[in-house]
Amino acid sequence: MAAESINKKGMLVAGGWVLPSPSRKSLEVKNPYSGEVVGVLPVATAADVEEAVSAAERALPVLGKLPAHRRSAILEETAKRIEALGEELARTITLESGKPIKDARGEVGRAVQTFRFAAGEALRIHGETVPMDAHKAGEGRFGFWMRVPVGIVGAITPFNFPLNLVAHKVAPAIAAGCPVVLKPASQTPLTAVRLGEILLESGLPEVALNIVFGGGGTVGEWIVGHPKIAKISFTGSPPVGRRILERAGLKRVTMELGSSSAVVLDEDADLEKALPRCVLGGFAQAGQSCVSVQRIFAHERIYARVCESLVRAVERLRVGDPLRDDTDVGPMIAEAEAARAQAWIEEAVGQGAEKRLGGTREGAVLAPTVLVGANNGMKVMKHEIFAPVVAIAPFKTFDEALGLVNDSIYGLQAGVFTRDVGKAFRAIRELNVGGIMINDVPTYRVDHQPYGGVKESGLGREGPRFAVEEMTTIKMVVFNL
């Protein structure tokens, strides 16, 4: 059967679609499961990025004149169209990312919510009056502050949520009145193209969204270093985040980075509830989520039972073709990534961990893997593995467990299963992370919550309300009466 090509358009620059041509370099998008080319896109030159930024600059006054209710209506219309095109979008996500189709459908549903919440936020951007006469120098003055768009947003996104993580940047930017220059991940740009079409069909002024493709080290860096871009909104790995911070200068920056997310299963944990959540959190989309369950700390009294039950549950996962409705675990994004994760597994085994399940690989498909007797010194716990691999270790006391969770360079989200409300509050107080899930896994997220991390996991927060705050700036006004 011929490869399914899903690319109909190209780059979106200044309201026009730039198609691949022999005079330009092109980017082949491959299905990570079959290796087939599913789309070809043009690679942006420095001149294309310049044109995209100029178009975004022209969009500033256009968006500035667009009333909040219109911006909200465009976002609501986009949500409706994404919902209506759900299956097509899910298929595009699966073909370019290898994500199982059921997870891709879930991602489409979440993107609908992200646009709907952003549509609501567009209507709520406001300021406050300031009691000027609280100080003698303020007598006879009337003051207030308001929020204004920060300017052009440069959005750089990763491969693992090709639709919803683009939505988390583009939707709040439109709500805030900011034009966008978007560079999606080179492995998964096709869904972003389709989203661009949908936004234009939903009434977004043409120049307000520009989408360019190409390598992070070229196109990404041109965006980051561009003096007319006011804010960089980045989701991706910590090393790239650091590089962007070095180059961004005085731009506003939001960094949604990686993690080695942990779950604590205390001795009284409801395992009936906890274990299925750990399986989902650890293995959905082949563990390639920033809040995948990677480290499980189980109380020593339940440790053996946790290891055994988890292995039994993971054995039942269906692995293979991501387009099949019943597939739980598909390929990783690339064979090289699967080989890297496999090498980390073998290194952990060499350091004393026991491989209870998995560790084998066929191309980009790494078998779901459970390691027991692991520790925080091993790469499989210390660094983000971003693979269908879960490592389990025992603990004696709850304080020790909290210490083990905090013993990480990352701090995105953590999960704690306990029936003791006192311990739950201790975890809330002591865990140094951006989000804590009591009686759930760190993988839990709704799209309107504040989402982001501390330490190497990032700076700033997403979730439409919080992203709008980061994409607007405060302007103070004083009347001398």
One of 51, 77, 256, 469 is an active-site residue; which one? 256
Q: Rule CB under 6 A: which of 280-299 touch ligand NAP?
A: 290
Q: Rule CB under 6 A: which of 440-479 touch ligand NAP?
A: 458
Q: How far apart are CB 12 and ligand NAP at their closest, in Å? A: 16
Q: How far apart are CB 238 and ligand NAP at their closest, in Å? A: 7
Region from 124-132, 202-210, 213-221, 401-409 binding ligand NAP, contact rule CB under 6 A = 213-221
Query: Residue 395 or 410: which CB sits closer to ligand NAP?
Result: 410
Three-state secondary structure string covering the chain: CCCCCCCCCCEEECCEEECCCCCCCEEEEECCCCCCEEEEEECCCHHHHHHHHHHHHHHHHHHHHCCHHHHHHHHHHHHHHHHHCHHHHHHHHHHHHCCCHHHHHHHHHHHHHHHHHHHHHHCCCCCEEECHHHCHHHCCEEEEEEEEECCEEEEECCCCCCCHHHHHHHHHHHHHCCCEEEECCCCCCHHHHHHHHHHHHCCCCHHHEEECCCCHHHHHHHHHHCCCEEEEEEECCHHHHHHHHHHHCCCEEEEECCCCCEEEECCCCCHHHHHHHHHHHHHHHHHCCCCCCCEEEEECCCHHHHHHHHHHHHHCCCECCCCCCCCCECCCCCHHHHHHHHHHHHHHHHCCCEEEECCCEECCEECCEEEECCCCCCHHHHCCCCCCEEEEEEECCHHHHHHHHHCCCEECEEEEECCCHHHHHHHHHHCCCCEEEECCCCCCCCCCCCECCEECCEECCECHHHHHHHCEEEEEEEEEC
Q: Is 162 in the site for ligand NAP (CB under 6 A)?
A: no
Q: Rule CB under 6 A: which of 377-396 touch ligand NAP?
A: 384, 386
Q: Is 158 in the site for ligand NAP (CB under 6 A)?
A: yes
Q: Is 217 in the site for ligand NAP (CB under 6 A)?
A: yes
Residue nearest to ligand NAP (CB): 216
How many CA within 13 A on the CB side of residue 329? 28
x/- binding map, residues 407-426, to ligand NAP, per CB under 6 A?
A: -----x--------------
Q: Is 331 in the site for ligand NAP (CB under 6 A)?
A: no
| 337 among known catalytic residues | no
One of 178, 278, 290, 307 is an active-site residue; which one? 290
| 256 among known catalytic residues | yes
Residue from 183, 295, 356, 465 binding ligand NAP (CB under 6 A): 183
Q: Is 180 in the site for ligand NAP (CB under 6 A)?
A: no
Residue from 98, 179, 258, 287 binding ligand NAP (CB under 6 A): 258
Region from 98-106, 143-151, 257-265, 469-477 binding ligand NAP, contact rule CB under 6 A = 257-265
Residue from 89, 170, 185, 365 binding ligand NAP (CB under 6 A): 185
Region from 44-52, 55-63, 185-193, 276-284 binding ligand NAP, contact rule CB under 6 A = 185-193
Q: Is 33 in the site for ligand NAP (CB under 6 A)?
A: no
Residue from 34, 92, 186, 191 binding ligand NAP (CB under 6 A): 186
Q: Is 398 in the site for ligand NAP (CB under 6 A)?
A: no
Active site residues: 256, 290
* Residues contributing to the site for ligand NAP (CB under 6 A): 156-160, 165, 183, 185-187, 215-217, 220-221, 224, 235-237, 240, 243-244, 256-259, 290, 384, 386, 412, 458
